[in-house]
Amino acid sequence: MPDAQIVTVGGREVRVTSPDRVVFPRTGHTKLDLIRFYEAVGDGALRGVYGRPTVLKRYVHGVDGEPFFQKRAPSKRPGWIEVAELRYPSGRSAEEVVPRDLAAVLWSVNLGCVDLNPHPVRAGDLDHPDELRIDLDPVPGVPWEQIVDVALLARDVLADVGLLSWPKTSGSRGFHIYARIAPRWKFADVRRAAEAVAREAERRAPGVATSRWWKEERQGVFLDFNQNARDRTVASAYSVRPTGMVSTPLRWDEVPGCDPSQFTIDTVPARFLDGGDPWEDMDLTEGSLDALLDLADSQGAKAARQVFPLIEIARTEHKPEALEALERWKSRHPEVARRLEPADILVDAMRGRSSAWYRIRVNLRHVPEAERPEQGPLEVDYNPWPAGGPWPTSP
């Protein structure tokens, strides 16, 4: 097994260490397979991250292990790796990698990055996003057909305010919709505009689409407007996800019949070669948020937060531990467990400083009040801040 292999791209040499290391244990795909994938879809993958500060989400032990998020670019890096300094609401700052060519993408992949996670700004103007992002996040039990319906609804809402939208699969259970905008508005305005899309979609299809921020209130597909906040990133076009599926750009006429499981590390290169990139002309458009912000102003006050009978089951470092804790709790409360619906199990991936941790909660709304168990000691009580400090929020 070679210790390293040199890949030459665009006149630059990228040293790929441990090229035969298996990154996807379930399929056997190696680091070199991942490198070759990004070479094959290079123009499309680079379009998604070009000039954008990008967080390094590193799976150093393969996709079955937990990733860690590295905002700061490694101090030991090639001289041709560009960086830009981002400042976060926490007051911290970080010099993040700014890909300008495919070599920079492959260099990131060699560090253990599987998907690419850019911010919605360009390095030349870090305060004004040039794209609006809608992340469709279905509650458990929602069928794929409903996600597609909400995607088409979001397209129509955006079209009604003069914005051309661009769809892609997420590479997981959800769906992504982007709209290029002029870099004139700050993050808070872009987030408010995205929330207006969510609220209008919910108005048009209540129970099917939701803008409700709190998980326990959601029904159907949540249009996650918070992905437009300053500290958020979304897996970009042609990102390979830990599932082995690829976040794949589509044409809108492909969306109604699409099957995300068909877009994989094995199939997408041929699709790209044969049909090109549906997002090739994305940068030729630049929309305005004026009409969408007018819609936001007209929507009035948000609905008050509803109160639900929630109990917390566990806080864990890793997701499998959280799910095991839930099963232990269910085994002690079998009658309660039988009454729970899929959306009543709230699995929260919580953001720590460099990695995620997990929280399990249960919504007892379908359990008669007299039969609801009280909040007891947590099955697992992991503290992501052992030295103290504020609790993080959901990513």
| pLDDT in the model for residue 354 | 63
Quote the CA–CA distance of 270 and 250 in Å, as a whole number: 14
242 in a domain, yes or no? Answer: yes
For 25-172, list the strands marked E by DSSP.
Answer: 29-30, 54-58, 68-70, 82-87, 93-98, 117-118, 131-138, 166-169
Tokens of 173: 């259970």
C-alpha distances out from residue 87 to 91, 123, 298, Å = 7, 12, 32
Q: pLDDT over 90 for what percent of the chain?
A: 87
pLDDT for position 353:
62
Picking from 325, 390, 384, 386, the residue whose alpha carbon sits closest to that of residue 69 is: 384
- Residue 385 in any domain: the answer is no
Domain end marker among 257, 276, 305: 305
Residue 392 lies in a domain: no
What pLDDT, on a 0 to 100 scale, did the predictor assign at position 328?
95
- Distance CA(319)–CA(296), nearest Å, equals 37
Three-state SS string over 165-212 comes to: CEEEECCCCCEEEEEEECCCCCHHHHHHHHHHHHHHHHHHCECCEECC
Whether residues 249 and 324 share a domain: the answer is no
Same-domain status, 118 and 147: no
- DSSP summary character for residue 3: S
Last residue of a domain, one of 305, 324, 346: 305
| Confidence bin at 363 (pLDDT 50/70/90) | very high
Residue 386: partners with Cβ closer than 8 Å, 6 or more residues away: none
Q: Which is it for the CA torsion 12, 13, 15, 19, positive or negative?
A: positive
Q: Is residue 319 part of a domain?
A: yes
What 3-state class would DSSP assign to 87? Answer: strand
Whether residue 376 is contained in a domain is answered as no
Determine, yes or no, domain membership for 73.
yes
pLDDT at 37 over 70: yes
Q: In terms of Cα–Cα distance, which of 315, 314, 307, 311 is closest to 373? A: 311
Q: Is the pLDDT of residue 395 over 80?
A: no
- CA 224 – CA 202 distance, rounded (Å): 12
Chain Cα centroid distance, residue 316: 21
Q: Is residue 15 domain-shared with residue 72, that is, in the same domain?
A: yes
Residues 265 and 337 in one domain: no
Q: Are residues 60 and 201 in the same domain?
A: no
CATH number of the domain where residue 27 is located: 3.90.920.10
Is 150 in the same domain as 182? yes
Assess whether 107 and 151 both reside in one domain: no
Domain that holds residue 40: 1-125
* 262 phi, psi to nearest 5 deg: -85, -10
Q: Are residues 208 and 231 in the same domain?
A: yes
**What per-residue string of b and e applies to 113-152 under the rule 16 or more CB within 10 Å gives b?**
bbbbbbbbbbbeebebbbbbbbbbbbbeebeeebbbbbbe
- Count: domains in the chain: 3
- Indicate whether 381 belongs to any domain: no
Give the pLDDT of residue 147: 98
Tell me the C-alpha distance between 197 and 195, whole Å: 5
Give percent of the chain above pLDDT 70. Answer: 96
Q: Is residue 387 part of a domain?
A: no
CA–CA gap between residue 16 and residue 19 (Å, rounded): 6
C-beta separation of 177 from 169 below 8 A:
no
Give the number of residues written for the chain. Answer: 395
Q: Are residues 170 and 181 in the same domain?
A: yes
Same structural domain, 78 and 163: no
| Integer-rounded Cα radius of gyration of the chain | 21
Q: pLDDT: is 89 or 73 the higher one?
A: 73
**Among 258, 281, 305, residue at a domain's last position:** 305
Is the Cα dihedral 292, 296, 297, 298 positive or negative?
Answer: positive
Q: What's the DSSP call for residue 322? A: H
Q: What is the mean pLDDT of residues 364-369?
A: 94
Given a cut of 90, whether residue 1 has pLDDT beyond it is no
Look at the block and give the residue holding tokens 């129970």: 207
pLDDT digits (tens, 9 = 90+) for 102-120: 999 999 999 999 999 999 9
pTM of structure: 0.91
- 334 shares its domain with 290: no
Averaged pLDDT, 299-305: 87
**Quick one: CA torsion of 244, 245, 249, 251, rounded to 10 degrees?**
160
Residues 141 and 267 reside in one and the same domain: yes
Distance between CA atoms of residues 290 and 301, nearest Å: 19
